[in-house]
Structure 1
Amino acid sequence: MSKPLTKTQLVAALAEEMDTDKKSANAALEAITTIITKEVSNGGAVTLPGVGKIMCRARPERMVRNPATGEQIQKPADKVVKMTIAKALKDSVNG
């Protein structure tokens, strides 16, 4: 398994794909990240065509166990960010 791309490598690949400089590619990546963060933190969802859907889901209050002590404790309700991978991406990886 190969290592994941770093931000620098991603910006360089994006600049090459867009046929632009790294500064513009970095600005585009930052803008996309900002938009996704704002939308998901406000309870919305963002679909990246061909990649997947990023959304915020609410988790109910539940009982969890402390693995160190075995003690059962009540964990309050919270929100978690989830990503559903697009079928096109799954298919390209598997075949």
Structure 2
Amino acid sequence: MATTADIADKIATEHNLTKAQAKAIVNSVLKSITDAAASGTETNLAGFGKFKVKDMPEREARNPSTGATIKVAASKKLTFTPAKAVKDALNG
């Protein structure tokens, strides 16, 4: 699994940056995606994929320990759809 630190280290190495500079860049990109999602805006990273907020309706579910039916409130979910290049890389 790659962590934000792993990604920052790779960027620092490939672009002659300090680890602190690279980590700041990674954090800035992630914050931009988070801010866009919080405002309901889609983020499209060409060649990588698309982050989109999806509204999930209220639904009924079961409590696994008691079997009782409970209502799960409506919520928002962040989805990611990979670009064709990413899908192709995954599937050879």
Q: Does the pair score TM above 0.5?
A: yes
The one-letter amino acid of 2:84's match is: K
Distance 2:77 2:89 in 1: 27
Distance 1:87 1:70 in 2: 42
Structure 1 residue runs without a partner (length 5+): none
1:73 aligns with 2:63: no
TM-score by length of structure 1 reads 0.87
Distance 1:47 1:17 in 2: 24
Structure 2 residue runs without a partner (length 5+): none
Q: Which residue of 1 aligns with 2:19?
A: 22
What CA RMSD, in Å, does the superposition of the two structures yield over aligned residues? 1.3
4+ long deviations beyond 6 Å: none
Give the percent of matched residue pairs that are identical in Structure 1 and Structure 2.
Answer: 35
TM-score by length of structure 2 reads 0.89
Compute the displacement of 1:17 (Å).
Answer: 2.3
Compute the displacement of 1:78 (Å).
Answer: 0.9
Distance 1:74 1:23 in 2: 45
